[in-house]
Structure 1
Amino acid sequence: MSASHLTTIGFDADDTLWQNEQFFRMTERRFAGLLAEHGDHQHISARLLEAERRNLAVYGFGIKGFTLSMIETAIEVTAGRVPASVIAEILAAGRDMLSHPIDPLPHARETVERLAGSYRLVLITKGDLFDQERKLAQSGLGDLFDAVEIVSDKSAATYARIFSRHGDGPKKSMMVGNSLKSDVVPVIEAGGWGIHVPHELTWAVEHAEPPVAAPRFRQITDLGELPALIESIAKTG
């Protein structure tokens, strides 16, 4: 594959360009503390994860759905006796999450800046529309992207549509992200390159087996390794 054959690069946002999951974990600990008399942290967290899995199809990904799942879990574990003061604390925790600061991950800015002049860059992210727009604006990276897609889910069909709309189709495109399930496996299924950048914190729902047998799968330690990887792919195919 020559360098000209790769024309478009997609980037995930949360936990790829900036920190995100750490705020969910912090809020989860706060939530478990509110319900400590009804179970230990592990029990409360497991019940919350069950609620989140159930609610994904209804509320989608993001902080609002997470907050509603916390409220639902609080009602369930207290058999409907959760005090209004606890509900208020949960709502306050959700609002706090919606104002958390943007903490870019190492090499994020310099890597995006370096690639911006040579490839069409597309930010492809899941989550609450307002929250994702806020984070992108505060990151200062928005002007470096040729397009931004905030989607309800990431599937092979999603990538085929986005890379056909903003690029030359998935076969000439690459997706970079921390989630094997959302950022890597489906784009490879669509015919593109899937580049995994592991993050120390990954939500259980996003876990998947690495597609190590797929010719278009690669893994790097951090975003600083991405430009060299792209050059290597261009030379070797």
Structure 2
Amino acid sequence: MAPDGERPPLLVMIHGGPTSAARPVLELSRQFWTSRGVAVVDVDYGGSTGHGRPYRRLLDGAWGIVDVEDCVAAARHLAAEGVVDEARVAIRGGSAGGFTTLAALCTSDAFAVGTSLYGVTDLGALATDTHKFESRYLDGLVGPWPGASDVYAARSPLNLLDGLSTPVLVLQGADDAVVPPSQAEAVVAAAAERGLDHEYLLFEGEGHGFRQAATIVAALRAELAFYGRILGFTPAPDDAA
């Protein structure tokens, strides 16, 4: 609980996919944050599944635009309502959610800090190297590859890093074949060049998505500590309910 009169920090959570959805159920990944005094909004941005076909199709050709705009709008709405501290807003996401996180950090001033977990930074590389199950998936979300290669380049966080101006935490699996460590390290290098507060954790034996309990615990602890330091709060102990 925040002290009387103090509005809590806000964490904007971005689901992966990108055509997945935030689940309206008890989710311990959200409970971890709310139990430690951090407000959470889990955004079903335009293009998320579960809200009908017209809503799902809002992301067609607009990945990197609609998702970013909706996440920024969610943060600004809650700040305007006075329920969260507008100066202490964080954003985080993994994979496609990491892509949206990085794009938002590079193109808006709505966030004070962000965390990318194995986030996509190079859409062109994803289009050419992704597994067979998602072959041509990006044709509908961005544009036909390689005909729309200029759009892929324009929306790739890798090419937007000149706009990065906030602290960033990067969490990456060493064995990730979908988003190789080199993509994460480009973000880290950009943060270092700009003198931005940043941290980078590379987890051995992890691929695209963390599977080992020790990794998940270490990543959450690092993320909580990073937000506490940047946003100015003392993290609750591990035994918080």
The TM-score range, normalised by the shorter chain, is 0.3 to 0.5
Higher relative contact order (CA 8 A, sep 6+): 1
Greater CA radius of gyration, 1 or 2?
Answer: 1
Query: Which of the pair is proportionally richer in helix?
Result: 1
Q: Taking structure 2 as the reference length, what is the TM-score of the superposition?
A: 0.39
Q: Taking structure 1 as the reference length, what is the TM-score of the superposition?
A: 0.40
